[in-house]
Amino acid sequence: MNVIEATGLGKRYGSTWALRECSLAIPAGHVVALVGPNGAGKTTLLNLAVGLTAPSAGTVTVLGDTRAGSPAARDGIAFVAQDAPLHKNLSVADMLHLTRNLNLHFDQGYAEARLAELAIPLNRKSGKLSGGQQAQLALTLALSRRPQLLVLDEPMSSLDPLARHDFMATVMAAVADDGVSVVLSSHALAELERVADYLVILSNGSVQVAGEVDDLLACHRVFSGPDAEANRYTEHLDVVHALHSKAQTHLLVRTDGSADPVPPGWKTRPISLEELAMAYLREPGAASLPRPSRAWQLEPTEVAR
């Protein structure tokens, strides 16, 4: 089952396309990191998936073949928007009651136990909680609905490092216990490296990279060698990004996973997820960038497994 599947998806605001020709299939059972620079269309893609926005072109389905925003989709997807919007004048207990009333499923026991563990008082107004507590409350409300898919838009952008750690711990506990699929957008790549096992990179409103982290890491390597010889090899290699330092050139290369012959005088090493993402983010121009392969031409059937 694909938790999110988009075909030719586009969203236009006025004359500008926030998202264009986006085709993507995210399989269930992953923690998906959706990364991209500001304005890449991350929030637009998530809003389309949760049914807050209607597409200008193409289609998006969720949780199998369910139309985004349909009753079944709303029931199965919990969404925490950026900055965790809550009714600031309602108490924590009222927010629980509100959410319980607005949904078919709500696990009051889980919510109360979770908030007790976080030491968030039930009688405190939501607006009086710290930023970290507000994020935790919004997350707890979402998880208490026992969704099949949890969608988080920039959940940690306003949190301090400790609060980020606690927030992700809550998410990962739910993943471990309940098997919930998670899609979260962020530009805090370092945090995601520990938790995400699926990466989607959006750039200029279209998908640049999509795949399981292990596969992506397996088919990218860094080649380092003398500057002078760099040009000779770039012709033969699928170079995503080249970094020239003094006398040395570092080439981020997409390989087919088999051990490419390493030219004499050159060294090769595996790549980290953050390096990989940064390299693609640095090369957003579709024309200049060798797209991440014919093999992952982002046909839904190719990415879906």
Partner 1 sequence: MTALTMPAHSERDASQRPVPWRRMAWVTWRQQRLTVAGLVTVLGAVSLYLLFIGQQARSFSGVAGHSLTLTAALFQVIPALIGAFVGAPVLAKELETGTFRYTWTQGFGRARWTVATLAPLAVAVTVLAGAVGFLFSWCYSPLIGGHYGSNLLDGNTFDLHGVTFAAWTLTAFSIGVLAGILIRRVIPAMLATMVAWSGLAVVTGVFLRPHYEAPLVSSKPTLPSTDWVMSQWWTRGGKPVSSSAIDQVLQKAGATVNGGSVTQSPGSALGNMSPTQYLLHHGFTQFQSYQPASRFWPFQWIEGGWLFALSLLLMGTAVWLVHRRAA
Q: Smallest distance, Å, CB 213 to partner 1?
A: 23
Q: Which of 11, 42, 164, 254 binds partner 1 (CB under 8 A)?
A: 11
Strands 2-13 and 16-27: antiparallel
Any contact of residue 57 with partner 1 (CB under 8 A)? no
Report the residue number, 21 or 75, with the smaller CB distance to partner 1.
75
Looking at the chain, list the stretches that DSSP marks H as alpha helix, in order from N- to C-terminal side: 42-49, 71-76, 92-101, 108-117, 131-144, 161-178, 189-195, 213-218, 230-234, 273-282, 300-303
Q: Which is nearer to partner 1, 166 or 191 (CB)?
A: 166
Report in angstroms how near the CB of residue 173 gets to partner 1 at its nearest.
4
- Check residue 249 for interaction with partner 1 (CB under 8 A): no
Find the binder of partner 1 among 169, 262, 286, 295 (CB under 8 A).
169
Q: Using alpha carbons, list the distances in angstroms from residue 141 to 9, 19, 134, 152, 206.
A: 29, 29, 11, 12, 31
* 131 binding partner 1? (CB under 8 A): no
Under the criterion CB under 8 A, does residue 195 sit at the interface with partner 1? no
Report yes or no: 137 and 92 within 8 Å, Cβ to Cβ.
Answer: yes
Q: Which of 77, 139, 202, 239 binds partner 1 (CB under 8 A)?
A: 77
Hey, how many other C-beta atoms are within 10 angstroms of the C-beta on 95? 21
Q: Which residue has the tokens 């009051």?
A: 108
Q: Which residues contact 102 (CB under 8 A, 6 or more apart)?
A: none
Minimal distance, residue 107 CB to partner 1, in Å: 7
Query: Which tokens sit at 276?
Result: 């990989």
Cβ burial of 224 (10 Å; 0-12, 13-18, 19+) is: middle
Q: Which residue has the tokens 């979402």?
A: 142
Phi, psi dihedral angles at 37 (to 5 degrees): -65, 165
Taking the C-alpha atoms of residue 224 and residue 247, their distance in angstroms, rounded to an integer, is 10
- Of 2-10, 22-30, 69-77, 228-236: span binding partner 1 (CB under 8 A): 69-77
Site for partner 1 in 134-163 (CB under 8 A): 138, 143, 145-146, 148
DSSP summary character for residue 91: B
**Residues 22, 30, 45, 53: which binds partner 1 (CB under 8 A)?**
53
Give the binding-site size for partner 1 (rule: CB under 8 A).
50
Q: Which member of 34, 174, 216, 253 binds partner 1 (CB under 8 A)? A: 174
Kindly state whether residue 215 participates in binding partner 1, applying the rule CB under 8 A.
no
**Please, which of residues 19-38 interact with partner 1 by CB under 8 A?**
none
Contact residues for partner 1, defined by CB under 8 A? 11, 13, 47, 50-54, 71-72, 74-79, 81, 83, 85-88, 90, 94, 97-99, 101-105, 107, 110, 113-114, 117, 138, 143, 145-146, 148, 166, 169-170, 173-174, 176-178
